[in-house]
Structure 1
Amino acid sequence: MKILLTSAGISNASIRNALVDLLGKPIDEATALFVPTAIYALPGGGDIARRVICGSLGDPFCELGWKSLGVLELTVLPSIKQELWLPMLQKTDVLLVGGGDCQYLCYWMQQSGLADLLPSLLLKTVYVGLSAGSMIMTRFGTTYGGHILPAESNKSLGLVDFALHPHLDHEWFPENSLASLEKLAATIPVPSYAIDDQTAIKVTDGTVEVVSEGQWKLFTPRAF
């Protein structure tokens, strides 16, 4: 699998170089699909999605200069025939999965059938997550709570065997101090990476590499 898990997008040259390495070609020669679904569980989610696509909010992501950029909305997929969207997905070089709410995103990943496709899809396609889009691939996720889902709905897919805590020490998220995340990590039985918005986790066929021009910390699990 080829996975790049970011806190805030392609925020610096090191993360951009890691993306190009996973793609095996320049960004302007690569096709991308953006998944905005997780954003809709946030207040004003529709406008946030628009701003992310336009590049007027956050670090570079959709507007990196892709050869082409499409939108894959997961909530629509169960109501249309798979042959209308699966060939497009299979031809795409990179899947860009935006932030928002992990539980909402995980639910629609599963309901749409995309979760079942990811293990085989990611043999060729590069997965790039942003915040919740990154956390969903790990062993731990969070929920915003602005939606009605079955109580047992998963918060993550567990495709990589660690937890991820983005936005370390970000002024918008006071609960993401290093001390707070360390306490949280102590409750999780797998390694946990706390990363700031200048850091990403690159996973290539099971090999994990931290790509950073900022701050990060790895917490190892205690014995449970």
Structure 2
Amino acid sequence: MLEIDNVHVHYHKVAALKGIDMAVPEDGIVTIIGANGAGKSTTLRSISGLVRISKGEIRFAGKRIDGLPPEKIVALGIAHVPEGRRVFPNLTVEENLRTGAFLRSDKAGIDKDLDEVFQHFPRLKERRKQWARSLSGGEQQMLAIGRALMSRPKMLVLDEPTMGLSPVLVQEIARIIRDIVARGVPVVLVEQNAELALKLARFAYVLETGRIALQGSAHELHDNEHVRRAYLGG
């Protein structure tokens, strides 16, 4: 579904990505792990059009998307949940969710999807009229994911969805990600918790200083000695 071919990204003269190649199938979870500064978030931002690539190609469902503005990429079916949640603090939970459908005009479909999001996230339904700023960190993460689902994505891109959450909420977010994939939406996951990422994913890439150092099935990489020493704590 998604193909990244020899992609380079520069911030001014600094190379952030140095010719990466990746592929994401039509189902399951592909994860990208690596140290801080390895280029993980830059990879996701290049997919969603938030940064321009310097060289290479990105194709989604056979269509080249590098160079398109972010709203056109959303319209094609890629929804990006950025690191840090970034909900609108002075809008209510329901208003935040409805912003995710800003490119849609099918009112009945939007209302139906809102009900489905509330089924996924009962806590959001309980708090639908509360200001987003009043939610806990875990609830804001649920809100950010729910807002992305309101665009009816064909692919979901998640950047550090469990950062700063308690172990209980980490497991709840993991369950939600599994549920989304079970509904037929593939996920590209960047996650600092490499143990969790490799348990959730089918395939994995290891990024180191802007290059792909390793790739393979998540199970294989979980048992790889270098990955265990560098990212899994021994």
Shared fold (TM-score greater than 0.5)?
Answer: no
TM-score by length of 2: 0.35
Q: Which has the larger radius of gyration?
A: 2
| TM-score of the superposed pair, with normalisation by structure 1 | 0.36
Greater strand share, 1 or 2?
Answer: 2
Higher helix share: 2
